[in-house]
Structure 1
Amino acid sequence: MARKILMLVGDYVEDYEAMVPFQALMMVGYTVHAVCPGKKAGDKVRTAVHDFEGDQTYSEKPGHNFTLNATFEEIDPAQYDGLVIPGGRAPEYIRLNPRVLEIVRHFAENNKPIAAICHGIQVLTAAGVLKGRACTAYPAVGPDVAEAGGTYVEVPVDKAFVDGNIVTAPAWPAHPEWLAKFLSLLGTTINHNR
């Protein structure tokens, strides 16, 4: 049976941080279910593209409509091997949903791999799973990590950081390293035979 990954998204999730891992994880053989509180399979969430153009913070542009392929109310976290939480603006409000927090705690308490990127770390802080842990995030989320009892680690925007079963990254430029480290936590190896 194919291994399964759960992805928690919402409207204005960061486009690359949802689309790229969704497609990349399927490419290497995972079943990936993208869900959003209050929405069902076939519904869409709007995405936003965040870019780094030399301003004091990222810029935001309209992204794509991302189609959900599973229904939030029907998922059972026990059926999944790993969790992905993209960034964007969605984390700031999906973390207000008690079931989202229960799902995150399930993965943390069962030592299942969790990959969170950028503002996705806000969901981890709200779930209370970073106490005594270290992670990275978009720098503006660093104070949230500290307030949640974690240690914020500053890394370059194209790097990722692992603490136990949690891999985090500051933003989408880290995809190659972030996804590679997540695959490693999942026990997946890529064979480069020629």
Structure 2
Amino acid sequence: MTTKKILMLLGDYVEDYEVMVPFQALQMVGHTVHAVCPDKKAGEKVRTAVHDFEGDQTYSEKPGHNFTLNASFAEVKAENYDALVIPGGRAPEYIRLNRMVLEITRHFAQANKPIAAICHGLQLLAAADVLQGKNCTAYPACSTEVWRAGGTYVDVPANEVVIDGNLVTAPAWPAHPRWLAEFLKILGTRIEHLEMAAV
């Protein structure tokens, strides 16, 4: 398998599962993942939030873990990365105000590199103006931003994904199994099934 170098764009109150699960799973299969946050360095932390679906009109929010960044935002050169991951939560809402975040995001879209975005991560893609003509999904409350950015919002169940070329999107963390599997396909990652010995 060819190891890919993947960038994750984070901020405080990123959704806990949406950063933890892909960060660990992508490394598990052999890829290098650099998690960065504007104005923060490797070794510093971002706070996370757990968004849950408990029958209310919108998700509930609870404190998550502190997540340790493993790369420094100021040192990021987008051309050195093969793919981009944008988790959801509240982070995309404000990191999209950072000019460098938008430039980095545009690089991946314009170079047709694989991009995986989930939940509110589509807010960043919309702000970077890279959704024109793209089919995608997101947390339903972000659908208006997708439409206004020229994308086509596809309403799918929370555990499903939408794939359009290099772009893999999902509404929320229940889609992790499919979202990550489809992203790995676009990355060209081949996983051999292992026979587990009985203990």
User: TM class by shorter-chain length?
Assistant: over 0.9
Shift of 1:45: 0.2
SS in 2 for 1:101: helix
Q: Distance in 2 between matches of 1:182 and 1:157?
A: 17
Q: Secondary structure at the match of 1:6?
A: strand
Counterpart code for 2:170: A
RMSD: 0.8
Matched residue SS, 1:66: strand
- The equivalent of 1:96 in structure 2 is 97
1-structure distance, mates of 2:3, 2:37: 22
Alignment correspondent of 1:17 = 18
Structure 2 length normalisation: TM-score?
Answer: 0.96
Equivalent residue number for residue 118 of structure 1:
119
Instruction: Give the CA deviation at 1:193.
Output: 4.3
Match of residue 87 from structure 1: 88
Residues 128-187 of structure 1: CA distance to partner in whole angstroms, max 9, x if unpaired? Answer: 000111100000000000000110000000011101100000000000000000001101
Larger Rg: 2
Alignment of 1:33-52 (within 5 A): 33-52=34-53
Counterpart in 1 of 2:27? 26
Gaps of 5+ in 1: none
Q: Which amino acid counterpart does residue 107 of structure 1 have in structure 2?
A: F
Residue in 2 that maps onto 1:78:
79
- Return the letter of the residue paired with 2:132: K
Q: Deviations over 1:70-112 (max 9, x none)?
A: 0001011111111000000000000000110111111001110
Percent identity between matched residues is 74
The 8 Å contact of residues 4 and 187 in structure 2, kept in 1 or not, is answered as no
Q: Secondary structure at the match of 1:61?
A: strand
* Displacement of 1:2: 3.6
Cα gap change, 1:193 to 1:140, in 2 (>3 Å): same
In structure 2, the partner of 1:150 is: 151
Paired AA for residue 84 in structure 2:
L
Q: Deviations over 1:27-60 (max 9, x none)?
A: 0001100000000000000000000000000000
Mapping for residues 129-148 of structure 1, pairs under 5 Å: 129-148=130-149
CA offsets 1:112-131 (integer angstroms, 9 cap, x no match) = 00000000000000000001
The count of residues paired between Structure 1 and Structure 2 equals 194
